[in-house]
Amino acid sequence: MLRQEGFDLVLLQEVWSERDYSDLKAKLGGCYPFSHYFRSGVIGSGLCVFSRFPILDTLLYQYSLNGYPYMLQHGDWFCGKSVGLVVIKISGIVFNVYVTHLHAEYCREKDAYLPHRLVQAWELAQFIRHTSKAADVVLLGGDLNMHPEDVGIRLLRGWTGLRDAFAEATRFEGCEDGCTLIPNNCFTVKTELLPFPLGIRIDYILYKAVSSFTVKCEELKTTTGTAPGMDIPFSDHEAVMATLHIRRQGQAADGNLGTAEPTLVDVVTEARTEVGVGLRAAQRQRYSTGRMAVLALLLLLLQATLGTLAGLAAGQPFPKLSFSLLAFFAIGILLLATGLHLFHTIEVKMLQGTEEQLRMALRTLQEHPSDG
């Protein structure tokens, strides 16, 4: 399909295996002579870009928080979730193209990962703002794992000024409401989509013009379930395809921030509250894992003392089986609790850092409501 459609640019997520990327590269080389694979984490970032135009430069930013290593069943932590940037130039217009994949949402009612996803959304917004200042056009595509009304996407859009191709498109063709995770896809988990009979829209193409250009989304399309001539779909998510019309204009476009600052203040405040909730949870976990490590250490010391005393008394050089098992158990708990304590220490630091940055952003917005 990628070969048939002949896009200018293809942004893929969840290409975990580098061999898959190499296969794609070999098969797509004819239509997309330029490509880049972003490496990170144990498994990888899963991000790659195929382009008809030369890739001039790349940069990878790895999010500072990305779930928990012990949530093996979710596995996000091992993926090294990141945002990748490729710079391309088409007809003299500089495009900063960002591809990303944020932390998944496994339970919308009790979303333990919301603070992490918000930190990611904030870091994504900051990374785009700081790196796109010389670009003419900014494009962001990817699986943001956020519904259109979620605080994270409002923060990202408000803070960067990026516009949603789905909302702006002149023509639309595809799944109802632009949904990209739909129930009648054989790879989706049906129970998770029960509250959303049409599905949910969590994959986006966002854009903005930075300098004296305008961008308009002429057409937006999504794939709709099964691939033509096959009985399985292309992927568990529907692909999003946008046709963008870019025009040079005399006048400079809007500033970096969105236009409605009073709303942005509310969004940043809301995000800060959620990050604060996550911070307090992380502080509790840091405390309880630290306490567990101390208890395990005390148990070990107690055992060592008792063991030495018993050994001296009975002339027996080695404690009994149950005794040594208990010691190993204590060592195991000590190591585990110490590791978790270190992890939650990092988590606390990063959440504090983000909360402080959001506070700074709020101050900037309130002091300079017009220029941000």
- For residues 211 and 253, the answer to whether their CB atoms sit within 8 Å is yes
Report, in Å, the least distance between residue 192 CB and a copy of itself.
29
Give yes or no for residue 304 binding a copy of itself (CB under 8 A).
Answer: no
Q: Restricting to residues 278-297, which ones interact with a copy of itself according to CB under 8 A?
A: none
E strand or H helix at 352: helix 321-367
Nearer to a copy of itself, 49 or 202 (CB): 49
Q: Restricting to residues 38-77, which ones interact with a copy of itself according to CB under 8 A?
A: 38-42, 44, 55-62, 64
Nearer to a copy of itself, 63 or 166 (CB): 63
Nearer to a copy of itself, 206 or 257 (CB): 257
The one among 214, 243, 288, 345 contacting a copy of itself by CB under 8 A: 345
Please spell the DSSP secondary structure of 235-283, one letter per residue: SSS--EEEEEEEEE-SS----SS-S-HHHHHHHHHHHHHHHHHHHHHHH
Report, in Å, the least distance between residue 21 CB and a copy of itself.
12
Rounded CA separation 184/174 (Å): 14
CA 183 to chain centre: 23
Q: Is the dihedral of CA 287, 293, 298, 299 positive or negative?
A: positive
The one among 3, 27, 108, 133 contacting a copy of itself by CB under 8 A: 133
What is the x/- site pattern for a copy of itself, positions 113-132, by CB under 8 A?
-------------xx-xxx-
| Of 357, 366, 347, nearest in space to 115 by CA | 347
Task: Extract the runs of DSSP E, i.e. beta strands, from the chain.
Answer: 9-12, 34-38, 47-51, 55-62, 82-90, 93-101, 137-143, 163-164, 171-173, 203-209, 213-222, 240-248
Report, in Å, the least distance between residue 138 CB and a copy of itself.
13
Give alpha helix (H) positions in 13-113.
18-28
Report, in Å, the least distance between residue 257 CB and a copy of itself.
12
Nearer to a copy of itself, 273 or 357 (CB): 357
Give alpha helix (H) positions in 103-213.
114-131, 151-160, 165-168
258: tokens are 């969105």
- Establish whether 36 is a catalytic residue: no
Give yes or no for residue 360 binding a copy of itself (CB under 8 A).
Answer: yes
Give yes or no for residue 22 binding a copy of itself (CB under 8 A).
Answer: no
Phi, psi of 88 (to 5 degrees): -130, 160
Residue 229 — left, alpha, or beta (φ > 0 → left; ψ -120 to 50 → alpha)? Answer: left
The one among 224, 253, 357, 362 contacting a copy of itself by CB under 8 A: 357
Report, in Å, the least distance between residue 37 CB and a copy of itself.
8
Give yes or no for residue 254 binding a copy of itself (CB under 8 A).
Answer: no
Of 36, 101, 103, 237, the active-site residue reads 237
Report, in Å, the least distance between residue 166 CB and a copy of itself.
28
Binding site for a copy of itself (CB under 8 A): 38-42, 44, 55-62, 64, 78, 80, 85, 126-127, 129-131, 133-134, 318, 320-321, 324-325, 328, 342, 345-346, 349-350, 352-353, 357, 360, 364
* Residues marked as catalytic: 237
